[in-house]
Homo-oligomer: A and B are copies of this chain.
Amino acid sequence: MKTMTISKIAKEAGVGVETVRFYERKGLVDQPPKPSSGGFRVYPIETAEQIRFIRQAQELGFSLHEIKELLALRTDPTTDCADVREQAQTKLDEVKRKVAQMKGIQTALEKLIAACPGEGALQVCSIIDAIETPETNRTEQKNKEGEKS
């Protein structure tokens, strides 16, 4: 394995060089120091792993900010376990909430598809209507309005 330059890492991780730099700027990945001997920065392979993790987590609906926190849990052997544990618990709650939400969406979509005849004119297609009049997922409704008609 050759000296891992930023472009090698980027390729390994399936992102562009600029994206790697962007994550560095955002503090999501460490920027290795420039060799005192001069020349280009040398990256540990783990950086590529880490970037893949970031992309995965993003797809799961985590923001870069949240991912940073997630990564902090890992990069924190110095802190007392209790702290890490607490953060992990917070994240866990968050994740559970997200899973629940996702499942709600999944169910909603499944219902829509099941109710759809599969072909025919849109008049009878229930998907649109179902989204329009969703009795099924009246989960949150921020109606703080006072009927000021």
Contacts and interface: CB of A to CB of B under 8 A. Distances in A.
B74 A125 contact: yes
* Copies, count: 2
Chain A contact residues (Cβ within 8 angstroms of B): what range?
Answer: 35 or more
Contact of A119 (B11, B80, B126, B148): B80
Contact of A116 (B81, B95, B105): B81
Given A53-B128, A98-B60, A131-B53, A91 B118 contact: no
A122 B79 contact: yes
Interface of A: 1-2, 8, 11, 14, 49-50, 52-53, 56-57, 59-61, 70-71, 73-74, 76-82, 84-85, 88-89, 91-92, 95-96, 98-99, 101-103, 105-106, 108-110, 112-113, 116-128, 131-132, 134, 137, 140-143, 145, 148-149
